[in-house]
Structure 1
Amino acid sequence: MNNKQLEQIRTKGGFIAALDQSGGSTPKALQQYGISESSYSGDEEMYQLVHEMRTRIIKSAAFDSKYIIGAILFENTMDRSIDGKLTADYLWEDKGVVPFLKVDQGLAALENGVQLMKPINGLDDLLKRAVGRNIFGTKMRSLIKEANPAGIKQVVEQQFAVGKQIVQAGLVPIIEPEVDISSADKELSEKILKEEILNQLSALDEGVHVMLKLSIPTVDNFYSDLMADPHVLRVVALSGGYSQSEANEKLSRNHGLIASFSRALSEGLTAGQSDEEFNAVLSQTIREIYEASIQ
């Protein structure tokens, strides 16, 4: 493991850019960017267009390690290059940004008020490739829709079981049990979730590091005790469907919680913008998310 990257993730001010929409969410990401589904044909053209969008973001002068400490990619982006370098190497060597990889393969059907991760086929092989491509850590998402104790326990147990497999491969897992922001009992779900996470953390071996990616809590600073746990490198927040301004406002009230935004990061960016317009929008977005993350 790269100790310089570890120290950056543990201590540096800033946030993590989530550039990891995959197969299912890529058409939506492109549409938000101003590219309709009728403008491309088949997966290869779609992935090429989304790589061009991400390359434009990453190469922008606004995408700076002064503000951004890490970036989450998905497998297709990890396998592609920017200026002749694999994306992860470009991120770290040219931008000073720590690369992560999304490893989950989507959500299973709703059961017990939650959606577990689908089985991750070929995970060991993917982790080996990630290590070979200088990836630092991984991310995987589950979804909690109801305050169902049995379901939430299943989500956290599954996340930590896969997390241990990722640690064994020499990578740092970002454990992401998202609580749906529109859930009627979001606050209660968060209470149950925190207890389950604390239980799993207490069972980890000394020296094992994980990160947590959580919905911005209903009660401000609710996750402070998770941040204080010696196993937790960082607690990051997803935007979860909030607008950029709303996500930033809620985030800024939570000391020590930093952003790992996806939709809120790319809000306002379009393919038709000139580079000057694109960079101006991205620069303002990055500065605002950064300010909310260092409160």
Structure 2
Amino acid sequence: MNLDELQAVARAIVAPQKGVLAADESGPTIKKRFDTIAVESTEKSRRRYREIMFTAESIERYIGGVILYDETLRQSTRDGTPFPQLLAGRGIIPGIKVDQGAKPLALCPGEKVTEGLDGLRERLVEYHGLGAQFAKWRAVIDIDAHDLPSPFGIHANAHALARYAALCQEVGLVPIVEPEVLMDGAHDVERCEAVTARALEAVFAELDAHGVGLEGVLLKPNMVVAGKKSTRQAGVQEVAEATLRCLRRHVPAAVPGIVFLSGGQSAEEATAHLSAMNAMGPHPWQVSFSYGRALQAPVLAAWRGHEANAAAAQAALLERARLNGLARDGAYGPEMESAG
């Protein structure tokens, strides 16, 4: 696949009103989600939960791509249709999470680096054969008021992201590059903006050094928000302005789209921030979403593991996706949450 073909896939994922459903939770993470609704996490329950989402009527209007987990990429619907085939048949591009998690960065207390580069080329070839057209790798950047992250911690994660992205493009997959500055801690919004800027600058320097074609990349960054423990939480407009200022300074216009992670925000907060940013457009890149919890929390609450609730769960996903589709046009308002 050449760069023009990669760019076409990237653009299709972030087509107008569309974004990404992140359904790539690892085994421990999906167990935590299921624990909140008292559902046992088994292969059967995980498969059925994902099937309910992937077969929800009309979600293709708002969902351009779905990130799958290794197990999910290999699963099928009850009638035997592989999930990647099901999604592709609906015009939704299937993708795959390929990193193997963030581990402590040696000799750097409090910092982590994402592992999974060993054997990645071979895994990417297999995933491509199973129907994936894009991939995702998440780097975790811890932040505090003064010392974290270190310059080396940022560099180590940026370098790994670039190596991953180059391998993806080599085998014909669009890489989603995710440098997440965490919103844990007590830092203010200004500190988050400064660290996010440093992380983005390092990532794009490494992508350039590795020869990655930016036209065939999607960026999945955090929004610029204060830490959860901060005494001053920024309002919606302040978050939108700080985030866009940071992106305009550090994200090249060649990137087709930015698909924000929700990063612990509520579904309503993530949608409001996205809408505020799009209302300030146009932008050099598509400004979209790649949400996990912010799309799935209402689905889990409606489903609760009961087959009789499947239709309600699908309706909850469609409604959340619709609201984010409106946010892609800067047309979402909080009053829509109760309007249905």
Identify the TM-score tier after normalising by the shorter chain. Answer: 0.7 to 0.9
2:53 is the counterpart of 1:57: yes
Cα deviation code 1:12-70 (max 9, x no counterpart): 431100000012212012224x2434xx6xxxxx12211110100111114x2211110
| 1:287 aligned partner | 322
| 1:175 aligned partner | 177
TM-fit CA distance, 1:119: 3.5
TM-score calculated relative to the size of structure 2: 0.76
Q: Which has the larger radius of gyration?
A: 2
CA contact (8 A) 1:114 1:152 kept: no
SS at 1:50's partner residue?
helix
2:122 is the counterpart of 1:125: yes
Question: C-alpha separation between the residues in 2 aligned to 1:291 and 1:226?
Answer: 26
| 2:75 aligned partner | 80
TM-fit CA distance, 1:10: 5.4
Alignment of 1:1-295 (within 5 A): 1=1, 5-9=9-13, 11-32=15-36, 34-37=37-40, 46-62=42-58, 64-82=59-77, 83-93=79-89, 95-109=90-104, 111=108, 113-146=110-143, 147-183=149-185, 184=187, 185-203=191-209, 205=211, 207=213, 209-218=216-225, 219-221=242-244, 222-224=246-248, 228-230=252-254, 232-255=255-278, 256-269=286-299, 270=303, 271-272=305-306, 274-295=309-330
TM-score calculated relative to the size of structure 1: 0.87
Question: C-alpha separation between the residues in 1 aligned to 2:251 and 2:129?
Answer: 30
For 2:35, give the aligned amino acid.
Answer: Q
Structural RMSD (CA)? 2.3
For 2:195, give the aligned amino acid.
Answer: S
For 1:281, give the aligned amino acid.
Answer: A
Question: C-alpha separation between the residues in 1 aligned to 2:84 and 2:297?
Answer: 23
Question: C-alpha separation between the residues in 1 aligned to 2:109 and 2:206?
Answer: 20
Q: Rate the CA distance shift 1:100–1:157 in 2: closer, same or farther, 3 A.
A: same
For 2:322, give the aligned amino acid.
Answer: R
TM-fit CA distance, 1:187: 2.1
Q: Rate the CA distance shift 1:207–1:145 in 2: closer, same or farther, 3 A.
A: closer
> Percent identity over the alignment?
26
Q: Unaligned regions of 5+ residues in structure 1, if any?
A: 41-45
Cα deviation code 1:64-96 (max 9, x no counterpart): 221111000011011111232221111011x11
Count of residues in Structure 1 that have an aligned counterpart in Structure 2: 284
Question: C-alpha separation between the residues in 2 aligned to 1:191 and 1:207?
Answer: 21
CA contact (8 A) 1:142 1:177 kept: yes
Q: Rate the CA distance shift 1:176–1:84 in 2: closer, same or farther, 3 A.
A: same
CA contact (8 A) 2:10 2:174 kept: no
